[in-house]
Amino acid sequence: MPAPAPHLPIVAIVGATATGKSDLALDLAESLDGEIVNADALQLYRGMDIGTAKVGAAERERVPHHLLDVLEVTQEASVSAYQREARAAITEIRARGHVPVVVGGSGLYVRALLDDIRFPPTDPEVRARLERRAENEGVASLRAELERTDPEAAAAIGAQDARRIVRALEVGEITGGSFRAFLPRREHLDPATLQIGLHRERENLRARVAVRVDRMVEQGLLDEVHALRAQGLDEGATARRAIGYEQALAVLDDAMTCREAIDATVAGTRRLVRKQDTWFRRDERVAWLPASSDDLLARALDLVAAHRAEVRA
C-alpha cells in the first residue's frame, strides 16, 4: 500500500448484496476521476458473470476495473493473494493520479485490503499432523497445549474451535511466536481510507433479492453454469459452492426443479445478506448512507470531501 496521500483517498463502498454498491461505485469513480477495485470474492472468477451480478463491458468502458476475471473456476480463491494483488492495484492507480474506489460485499476481502492485517505462514505437513492429533486426542488436549504455549491466543479462541486452535498451534510451531500477533485489528493501513456503507430497509432488500434472482435466471444463468461446467466448475472447491451456482448445478443434474432452485437461491442470498450486514455493522468506521436516497451520489461526495479535510487537518 502506498504512503498516505491526503489528496488521493481510498474510498470503499461496502454493504450487503443487492444494495446498489456497484452503481454508486461507478458514479463515484466518474466524479472523482477514479478506478474501481473489486472486493467481491466470486467476481474474481472468469465466466461467473450473471450469477455474481458482475458489471458488463459498458460499465468497464466507463471506468477501469481491476481484480475481475482473474481466476479460473477450478482455482481456489486466496485472501492473502487477493490482498497482495489488490494493494498493488491501488498503488498503481494512485501513481496514475487517480482515486481507487473499492467495491464489494466480501467482508474479509475488504478488511484484508484496507486494514493492517498480516497473514501468518502455513505448513501443510504441520497442519495435517495437528489435525490428526485433534482427531485422536481430542480438541481439549490441543487446547491445553495452546494455553501453555500461547496463552494470549488461547484467550482469544473458543474452547471448542478446533480449526483455529490447530491454526494457532501451527503458526506457533512455524514462527516461534504468538498467533495473537496475526489477529486482525480494526485499523486502516492508510489513514486516507474511507468506508461508505449502503443500507436498505429489510423488506425492500428482501424484495430486491427475489427480483435479482429471477432476472439472473431470465438472463441465462443455467446456460452460464452449463458452459462453466465444461471448464471444470464441478472441480472448483470455492466456485461450485457459490449461491446460485450450486443450485443451478442441481437443476442440470435433475436434483432440483428450476422453481426449487430459485427459491433456494433466494433463501441463501437472504441469509448472506444478513451475515454481510452484521459483519459491516460491527465496524464503527463505516459511514452509512440510505441506498434509496435521491441525492446518494451528492451525499457520498460530501463524505469524501469531509474525510479529505479531516485527513489534511
Q: Which residues of the chain fall below pLDDT 50? A: 2, 4-6
Binding residue per annotation — 177? Answer: no
In the three-class reduction of DSSP (H, G, I as helix; E, B as strand; rest coil), residue 212 is classed as: helix
Q: What is the pLDDT of residue 6?
A: 44
Q: Which domains does the chain have, with CATH numbers?
A: 10-117+186-312 (3.40.50.300), 124-182 (1.10.20.140)
Q: How far apart are CA 69 and CA 73, in angstroms?
A: 10
Task: Give the pLDDT of residue 7.
Answer: 65
Residue with C-alpha cell 496475526? 182
Residue 269 marked as a ligand binder: no
CB proximity list for 72: less than 8 A, separation 6 or greater: 45, 46, 231, 232, 236
The answer to whether the annotation marks 255 as part of a ligand binding site is no
Amino acid 313: pLDDT: 74
175 is in an annotated binding site: no
172 is annotated as contributing to ligand binding: no
pLDDT, residue 2, reads 46
Task: For residue 17, say whether it is annotated as part of any ligand binding site.
Answer: yes
Alpha-helix runs per DSSP H in the chain: 21-32, 57-62, 79-95, 107-114, 124-137, 139-149, 151-156, 162-175, 202-219, 221-230, 245-252, 258-281, 296-312
